[in-house]
């Protein structure tokens, strides 16, 4: 394929078939939609990606997004264009094992001569509750400054602070942080610490082409902890399904609340 013109934003959705924590994880459903389809739909709805790539080694996952695509005829480690902006990447076994790195996958994909971009987004299916406003907030971060190597979405660890943690030394507990001898510091006085939430990773092409993954100038995008689920276990999946059910019930109440407010205004008049 001929080298294409440089584009602004490209999204990669990594969705391998294997998962030890939750079998067939990427095909598990939240509501009526699988995790991989939720990630795909969120990228489509964002509306500014010139290229969206699904990367998988699974025919079932491929069919979930591209129902009419012939998985068996797709070339391994090639960018197979389904439509102009929608792309399927068939992974090899090396990049599909339990020990394979997402960075190795990204490096494989960006080595393709026809892919040239400013910003590469990694959108993992295991974080199911993304919003349109988040996509556009991060897009503004990208285009508002050049002084970063990557952008990573994070959330506050809150009560799970390293200063409150222990590790085992022999049979006894010792503070996780060697310098932390005072384990009774109030939570409000602890320094802010954040953990990756798996929602968004954005990389500059110039950094990736140098073989650098995150780099040393990482911009944070802080997301709320409430309803922010990254699915690693069956318990996480069940919790995400409950969150989705709660959100649907809240949305269904909106018309009723609106009608109540209208009735109150009418009575007051």
* Sequence spans of domains, the chain: 7-156+193-268, 158-192
pLDDT of the residue at 179? 64
- Prediction pTM value: 0.84
pLDDT of residue 1: 40
CA dihedral 87, 92, 98, 100 (to 10 degrees): -80
What is the band of 269 on the pLDDT scale with cuts at 50, 70, 90? very low
- For residue 167, the surrounding DSSP H or E stretch is strand 166-169
Instruction: Tell me the pLDDT of the chain averaged across its residues.
Output: 84
pLDDT exceeds 50 at position 258 = no
Are 229 and 149 spatial neighbours (Cβ–Cβ below 8 Å)? no
CA distance linking residue 127 with residue 223, whole number of Å: 12
Mean predicted confidence (pLDDT) in 28-54: 95
Q: What percent of the chain has pLDDT over 70?
A: 84
Distance from chain centroid for Cα 239:
17
Residues 6+ apart with CB under 8 A from 67: none
Q: What CA–CA distance (Å, rounded) separates 199 from 144?
A: 20
**Is 60 exceeded by the pLDDT of residue 237?**
yes
Q: What angle do CA 104, 108, 112 make, to 5 degrees?
A: 160
Is residue 66 over pLDDT 90? Answer: yes
Q: What is the CATH number of domain 7-156+193-268?
A: 3.90.550.10
């Amino acid at each position: 394929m001929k080298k294409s013109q440089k584009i602004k934003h490209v999204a990669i959705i990594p969705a391998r078939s294997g998962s030890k924590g939750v079998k067939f994880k990427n095909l598990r459903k939240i509501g009526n939609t699988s995790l991989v389809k939720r990630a795909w739909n969120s990228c489509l709805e964002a509306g500014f990606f010139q290229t969206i790539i699904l990367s998988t080694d699974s025919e079932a996952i491929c069919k979930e997004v591209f129902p009419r695509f012939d998985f068996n005829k797709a070339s391994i480690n090639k960018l197979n264009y389904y439509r102009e902006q929608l792309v399927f990447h068939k992974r090899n076994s090396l990049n599909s094992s339990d020990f394979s790195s997402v960075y190795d996958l990204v490096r494989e994909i960006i080595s393709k001569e026809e892919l040239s971009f400013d910003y590469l987004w990694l959108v993992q299916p295991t974080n199911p509750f993304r919003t349109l406003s988040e996509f556009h907030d991060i897009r503004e971060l990208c285009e508002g400054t050049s002084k970063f190597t990557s952008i990573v979405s994070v959330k506050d660890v809150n009560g799970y602070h390293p200063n409150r943690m222990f590790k085992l030394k022999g049979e006894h507990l010792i503070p996780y942080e060697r310098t932390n001898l005072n384990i009774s510091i109030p939570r409000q006085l602890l320094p802010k610490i954040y953990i990756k939430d798996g929602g968004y990773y954005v990389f500059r092409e110039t950094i990736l082409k140098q073989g650098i993954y995150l780099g040393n100038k990482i911009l944070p995008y802080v997301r709320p902890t409430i309803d922010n689920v990254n699915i690693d276990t069956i318990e996480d999946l069940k919790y995400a399904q409950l969150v989705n059910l709660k959100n649907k019930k809240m949305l269904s109440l909106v018309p009723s609340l609106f009608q109540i407010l209208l009735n109150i205004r009418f009575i007051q008049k």
